[in-house]
Amino acid sequence: MARVLLLIPSRTYRTHDFMEAASRLGIEVVVGSEHRSALAKLMEDRQLRLDFHDVERSTQRILASARGHPLNAVVAVDDTGTLLAASAAEALGLAHNPVDAVEAARDKARMRQRFQAARLLTPGFRTVDPDEDPAAVAALVHFPCVVKPLDLSGSQGVVKADDADSFPGVLTRVRSIVAACQRDGVRPDVLVEDFIAGDEVAVEALLRGGELDLLAIFDKPDPLNGPFFEETIYVTPSRLTIEHQAEIRETTARAARALGLTDGPIHAELRINDRGIWMLELAARSIGGLCSRTLRFGSGISLEELILRHAAGLPMPAHDREQRAAGVMMLPIPADGRLKVVAGQEEARQVPGVDGLVITIPPGEQLVPLPEGDRYLGFMFARADSPAAVEAALRQAHAELRIVTDG
């Protein structure tokens, strides 16, 4: 039986889907997490308490555990664990991404440098340290621009500045968000990059021995033009031309090579305009939240099953994506307030094509919208005979929801 260490941060939506996939495949799971998880009683001695930020010490803990109980793979379910997964797999002699490549994928400035060196179309950028004067920086950048943290995800802290007058306020706001998220009060640099207009897509793929296995291209039909960049609807298959899709695949493969990634899932964001295909970001992980539930391969195989099969060296069956169109809506948080109820859920579920709705924030919790927030209200899923029908179902169902707060 294959034995896999799953690195599961305490704040993730993905525990259930990975555990279910492991169960279907007959894989023995060891859970690595920052805290003793709700799975503790079920896992018995198959749980490691790890600090994902202290990679060296946590790698040693994993090595010590594996001496008595060997592992076949180390898999990070979210971005937080990718660096530790690479370090531990390297120490254990297992298939892995190079540590340096994962570090570059998690640092947006280093990522940009490698994309530029590979002659990919990517935004011009500069880093801004905590002591630089905003007005002085404003004189050096092009507008409109985007100010963002170097290592946060999910569009948290990402804000567009249209001109020099608005730039100081935007930079101050992003610096505050970054400072609130840092350990031990560290305030790292932020990134200022050119805003690239155009349609945005997401790519889901698996790297196998350095070769890109494209799994899906998602269209993002809602424009992402700022001032914030809250993602909402993803729909696949893409409605772009076959030629554009081929170019997106090739650009993603070049970006992965530029970073030095060779093994495991990747999730990429690209923009398309009259100048070509722009590489925005590429992460050494699979799609976040519950969005993977849109994807089914072969005879009903989940994305998590594909990831675990590849990691554990199990046979990889045919895995073309299902024929029907599918999509997800990441339900946005419209305003601050303490959640009382999300009304209209039953009406939303009755919309033809909708096949799932999960509210992930329980009543009584404080809602914090982007750019300060780092969560969505939930996820809604749809399937239909065409991407247009999927998009229409998601929009119609979302119109049925009413968010009631105390705030």
CB burial of 245-282 (b: ≥16 within 10 Å; e: otherwise) equals bebbbebbbbbbbbbbbbbbbbbbbbbbeeeebbbbbb
Q: What is the mean pLDDT of residues 144-155?
A: 91
Say what the pLDDT of residue 152 is: 83
Cβ distance 167 to 126 under 8 Å? no
Lowest mean per-residue pLDDT among 27-41, 137-151, 347-361: 27-41
This prediction has a pTM of 0.94
Say what the pLDDT of residue 37 is: 54
Gap between the Cα atoms of 111 and 282, Å rounded = 8
Say what the pLDDT of residue 73 is: 97
Average pLDDT, the chain: 94
Domain 324-407 has CATH 3.90.600.10: yes
Q: What is the mean pLDDT of residues 371-392?
A: 96
Q: What is the mean pLDDT of residues 88-106?
A: 96
pLDDT at 40 over 80: no
With cut-offs at 50, 70 and 90, classify the pLDDT of residue 9: very high
Tell me the per-residue pLDDT of 305-329, one tens digit each, with 9 for 90 and over.
Answer: 999 999 999 999 999 999 999 999 9
Q: What is the mean pLDDT of residues 8-28?
A: 94
Domain ranges of the chain: 3-103, 124-194, 324-407
Say what the pLDDT of residue 150 is: 92
Tell me the per-residue pLDDT of 235-283, one tens digit each, with 9 for 90 and over.
Answer: 999 999 999 999 999 999 999 999 999 999 999 999 999 999 999 999 9
Q: What is the mean pLDDT of residues 350-370?
A: 96
Say what the pLDDT of residue 186 is: 52
Q: For domain 3-103, give its CATH number from 3.40.50.20, 1.10.3720.10, 2.60.130.10, 3.10.25.10.
A: 3.40.50.20
Tell me the per-residue pLDDT of 103-140, one tens digit each, with 9 for 90 and over.
Answer: 999 999 999 999 999 999 999 999 999 989 999 999 99
Domain 124-194 has CATH 3.30.1490.20: yes
Contacts of 232 (CB under 8 A, 6+ apart): 220, 222, 329, 330, 332
pLDDT at 39 over 60: no
Tell me the H-state helices in 139-270: 167-181, 242-259
Cβ distance 284 to 261 under 8 Å? yes
Q: What is the mean pLDDT of residues 388-400?
A: 98
Say what the pLDDT of residue 42 is: 52
With cut-offs at 50, 70 and 90, classify the pLDDT of residue 287: very high
